[in-house]
């Protein structure tokens, strides 16, 4: 498929912590049969100086394969999903695809209830992709 197959669209997702602990914001289509090619995405949280991570989840890695982890220096600092390529020189900036059961997520360690994680992305959405879960 070429770059212009599908439609380019913005995506915003949020999650609110129930209490102290991990709060995650999945970046995936709402239904199966849809594929997103993630052109750019960033996550942020309003909690402060906490640990943040981008992970990739799939049936093969239900607990998540960690792409990169940082300790945020404060709240509302955007963190690019592709920052792993900057932190690991041998890593290529490969396209990341998201489906219902294979997708990245932004997670942070919330200090209390009511803390918000947010992901904003620009994706190419393809509908009716065969073999996509």
For 21-76, write each residue's pLDDT tens digit. 999 999 999 999 999 999 888 889 999 888 888 889 999 988 888 887 888 777 77
- CATH 1.10.3470 holds for 7-127: no
Return the higher-pLDDT residue of 85 and 120.
120
3-class DSSP assignment, residue 37: strand
Domain boundaries, the chain: 7-127
Q: Where are the beta strands (DSSP E) in the chain?
A: 7-16, 21-26, 34-45, 51-58, 61-71, 79-80, 96-98, 103-110, 116-127
90-119 pLDDT per residue, tens: 555 667 899 999 999 999 999 999 999 999
User: Counting Cβ atoms within 10 Å, is residue 27 exposed (0-12), middle (13-18) or buried (19+)?
Assistant: buried
Structure tokens at 36: 């997103």
pLDDT score at 61: 86
Give residue-wise pLDDT tens across range 37-47.
998 888 899 99
């Amino acid at each position: 498929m070429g770059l212009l197959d599908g439609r380019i669209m913005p995506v915003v997702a949020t999650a609110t912590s129930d209490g102290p602990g991990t709060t995650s914001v999945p970046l995936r289509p709402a239904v199966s049969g849809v594929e997103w090619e993630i052109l750019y995405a960033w996550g942020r949280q309003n909690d402060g100086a906490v640990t943040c991570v981008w992970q990739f989840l799939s049936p093969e890695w239900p607990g998540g394969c960690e792409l990169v982890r940082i300790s945020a220096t404060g709240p509302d600092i955007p963190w690019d999903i592709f920052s792993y390529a900057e932190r690991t020189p041998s890593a290529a900036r490969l396209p990341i695809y998201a489906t219902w059961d294979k997708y990245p997520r932004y997670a942070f360690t919330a200090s209390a209830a009511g803390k918000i994680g947010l992901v904003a992305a620009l994706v190419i959405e393809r509908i009716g992709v065969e073999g996509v879960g």
